[in-house]
Amino acid sequence: MDKILKVKGFGEVAVKPEEIAVCLTISQVDKNIQSAISGVELEKRTVIKDAISIGLKKENIIFSGYNVRQEYEYVQNLRKYRGFKVTEIVEIKFAFDTNLLGSLIQTISSHISPVLSVHFLADRKNYEDLLLEKAVKDAESKAKILAKASKTKLKGIKNIFYGVNDEATVSYRQTEGALRSASFNDMSVDDIEFSESVVVEWEIE
């Protein structure tokens, strides 16, 4: 029966963000559902116009579709019907540029005040080879140390197992009504960290 040494190795990389995704939550409440939808559509057209005015394209903008629910409020412990609340999320994605982000926020906030969140992204696929190389090297380094400490020798690799971790992002969230105070031109954005692990089995003497 073969003697096996099983070691887990880790690979990590920290990279600069490559893209920015701005998510705007647009909503309107009205007892007439068509009026609520029309209000959302009007704000969507404003967002599109603002985005194009600073150099972005329609291809940069993604719409989620309507979410409709009945909205209530409580007045002196009594539930009062407000109407239909129509909500849609608009995502604007573009190459990393904090100056462009600042211009987009400033332009949109001069017309509407949606709930806003900003996500700084990087594509994990661009770093998978490096992550695996680092993880395997880490496993190999640990295996050599363990083999030396236990006075045995590594004969060869029998198996390698690995999985993929979730993509990491750095985010910023701005609540409704506070957009005008947001400034991104000189902001410092943290690196995005990716990690990978592998389990390597060595046959040992």
Is 3.30.110.170 the CATH classification of the domain at 1-18+123-205?
yes
Q: Residue 124 CA to chain centroid, in angstroms?
A: 11
CB 104 within 8 A of CB 54: yes
| CATH 3.30.70.2970 domain extents, the chain | 19-121
- Separation of alpha carbons 14 and 21, rounded Å: 19
| CATH 3.30.110.170 domain extents, the chain | 1-18+123-205
pLDDT of residue 75: 87
Q: Nearest 5°: CA angle at 56, between 54 and 61?
A: 130
Architecture of domain 19-121: 2-Layer Sandwich (3.30)
Rounded to two decimals, what is the model's pTM? 0.76
Q: What's the first-to-final CA gap in the chain, in angstroms?
A: 11
- Separation of alpha carbons 99 and 178, rounded Å: 19
pLDDT of residue 2: 76
pLDDT tens, N- to C-terminus, the chain (205 residues):
678 999 999 999 999 899 999 999 999 999 999 999 999 999 999 999 999 999 999 999 999 889 999 999 988 889 999 999 999 999 999 999 989 999 999 999 899 988 888 999 999 899 999 999 999 999 999 999 999 999 999 988 999 988 754 444 455 444 443 344 444 555 677 888 899 999 999 998 8
Sign of CA dihedral 2, 7, 136, 165: positive
CB 201 within 8 A of CB 2: no
Q: What are phi and psi of 96, to 5 degrees?
A: -55, 120
